[in-house]
Amino acid sequence: MAGKTLYDKLWESHLVELRDDGTALIYIDRHLIHEVTSPQAFEGLRLAGRQPWRRDANLAVPDHNVPTDAEERAGGVAGILDPVSRLQVQTLDDNCEAFDIVEIPINDIRQGIVHVVGPETGATLPGMTVVCGDSHTSTHGALGALAHGIGTSEVEHVLATQCLIQRKMKNLRVRVDGRLGLGVTAKDLALAIIGTIGTAGGTGYAIEFAGEAVQALSMEGRMTLCNMSIEAGARMGMVAVDQVTLDYVKGRPYAPTGALWDQAEAYWRTLHSDVDAVFDREVVLQAQDIKPQVTWGTSPEMVLPVDAMVPTIEAQADEVSKNSVKRALQYMGLHGGQAITDIKLDRVFIGSCTNSRIEDIREAALVAKGRKVAANIKQAMVVPGSGEVKAQAEREGLHTILLDAGFEWREPGCSMCLAMNADKLGSGEHCASTSNRNFEGRQGIGGRTHLVSPGMAAAAAIAGHFVDVRELGGHA
């Protein structure tokens, strides 16, 4: 009998019931909750007279709507200027109170983007099933967890039953051989993978990222990589547990200690695909071929190395592709054949659940050190992923480097990744962004998003246009 994949093991260990029709009841260990996708779920519980099945499985934190401006933030929930945002954050507080769910409130130092907070607090652990009403829940797969986003009906379902009705996904291994070059990061790897398999390439699959280049990534790099599984169409992405994982988890507030740690570690060390495991599909990339990436269009798969030219409509194979490239070029205000490095920028955003952890801030600060943001950049903002990340960066003096260079240093939250708070792009503005989606209007109506790594974003802020961070020097 063939061996098991990591996904097979995680799935089987959480199987409550397998039905004849192939659907299964899967037990959920950790449910993370934020303010946008939960109000209707709590309302559903209320209407049906139901209570949460297991309160200690849940952890809530507001992130999408919280202001990142220090002054507005200081007023707490009551100080949020947009009344609709304020109501949503207030509703989360009220629901957590009413249903006795632990919440990290807006101005707690542990507050931050839910996908930064989970791993950072140890609320996310290897071997867990982790869900949240947010598609970037795939991030937590970096710890060797089965983690994916769910809709609001499923948020309610998990609250009420501690389970989800699922059908098993197929297994896809993305293997990256060799080592990434200097100045090429997990973000570039994620974008290169999406560029290779497409935004629907992972649909129907659970992705395991493997190979030398993935093993060489830090835990934070693995989170960046797994975070963007959903942009490749896969609900979940994961990386096998190894020493890097264990070193990261040890000592986190919600992680086990003492004898429990030893017991957990022994189990966690089994969380990898067996040598003879069979994958339904495998994609292999060579790390050395990957250069810093920049998206030029309105889908994450519209991505190219920084030294490339924007594609032409004529070069597209079929009508559907011609139409989407035409539409994307029009929306982005670009023309086919234009060099990526000729794209002028208006704003720079460093943050989001993809790239707002301490290593991301370090990467940006390293490039920014001793330099100045270009005159044509209206705003370059750095939004740390959590209060803890912010505090750590300040201990290292990174905020001073960034502020000296002309960047804004903000309070933690989702911010301009999806522009649900006050941080957004103006129409027609080009933004170098470390976030995960370059959809039309994502960062503000008419806004033009280019996805890049933190180092590339910082380099673009300094140059005023895209530039290969490796030429600017100062990269890690």
Partner 1 sequence: MKPFGELNGLAAPMDRANVDTDVIIPKQFLKSIKRSGFGPNLFDELRYLDEGQPDSDNSQRPLNPDFPLNFARYQGAEILLARANFGCGSSREHAPWALTDYGFRAIIAPSFADIFHSNCFKNGLLPIVLHADIVSTLFDEMYATEGYRLNIDLQAQTVTTPSGAVYEFEVDAFRKDCLLKGLDDIGLTLEQAPAIRTFEEKWRAQSPWLFDVIK
Q: Which is nearer to partner 1, 159 or 469 (CB)?
A: 159
Tokens found for residue 9: 């093991």
Q: Which is nearer to partner 1, 185 or 421 (CB)?
A: 421
Q: Contact between 79 and partner 1 (CB under 8 A)?
A: no
Q: Contact between 200 and partner 1 (CB under 8 A)?
A: yes
In three-state secondary structure terms, 45 is helix
- Span 216-255, contacts to partner 1 by CB under 8 A: 230, 233-235, 254-255
User: Which range touches partner 1 (CB under 8 A), out of 14-22, 332-340, 400-408, 451-459?
Assistant: 14-22
Q: Contact between 196 and partner 1 (CB under 8 A)?
A: no
- Span 164-183, contacts to partner 1 by CB under 8 A: 165, 167
State the minimum distance, in angstroms, from the CB of residue 235 to partner 1. Answer: 5
Q: Contact between 370 and partner 1 (CB under 8 A)?
A: no
**CB distance 196 to 202 below 8 Å:** no
Query: What is d(CA 93, CA 101) in angstroms, rounded to the nearest whole number?
Result: 9
Tokens found for residue 57: 């499985």
- Span 15-74, contacts to partner 1 by CB under 8 A: 16-17, 19, 21-23, 25, 27, 29-30, 36-37, 39-40, 43-44, 48, 50, 53-59, 64-65
Q: Which is nearer to partner 1, 69 or 265 (CB)?
A: 265
State the minimum distance, in angstroms, from the CB of residue 455 to partner 1. Answer: 26
Tell me whether residue 70 is exposed, middle or buried, using C-beta atoms within 10 angstroms of its C-beta: 0 to 12, 13 to 18, 19 or more.
Answer: exposed
Q: Contact between 286 and partner 1 (CB under 8 A)?
A: no
20 to 10, 28, 167: CA distances (angstroms): 21, 21, 12
3-state secondary structure 435-476: CCCCCCCCCCCCCEEEECCHHHHHHHHHHCECCCHHHHCCCC
Maximum Cα interatomic distance, the chain, rounded to a whole number of Å: 64
Cα 367 to chain center, whole Å?
22
Q: Contact between 442 and partner 1 (CB under 8 A)?
A: yes
Residue found under tokens 């109506």: 445
Cα 139 to chain center, whole Å?
6
Q: Which one among 107, 152, 196, 392 touches partner 1, defined by CB under 8 A?
A: 152
Q: Which is nearer to partner 1, 203 or 392 (CB)?
A: 203
Q: Contact between 406 and partner 1 (CB under 8 A)?
A: no
Tokens found for residue 366: 């390293």
Q: Which is nearer to partner 1, 187 or 442 (CB)?
A: 442
User: Which range touches partner 1 (CB under 8 A), out of 106-114, 175-183, 341-349, 437-445?
Assistant: 437-445
Q: Contact between 203 and partner 1 (CB under 8 A)?
A: yes
Segments in 289-386 forming alpha helices (H): 319-332, 358-368
Q: How far apart are the first and last CA of the chain?
A: 45
344 forms bridges with which residues in the sheet? 465
- Span 296-355, contacts to partner 1 by CB under 8 A: 299, 320, 323-324, 327
Return the closest-CA partner of residue 176 out of 195, 192, 199, 158.
192
Q: Contact between 81 and partner 1 (CB under 8 A)?
A: no
* DSSP summary character for residue 248: H
Site string for partner 1, 95-134 (x = CB under 8 A): -------x--------------------x-x-xx----xx
Q: Which is nearer to partner 1, 399 or 424 (CB)?
A: 424
**CB distance 420 to 36 below 8 Å:** yes
Residues 93, 41, 79, CA angle at the centre, nearest 5°?
25
State the minimum distance, in angstroms, from the CB of residue 160 to partner 1. Answer: 5
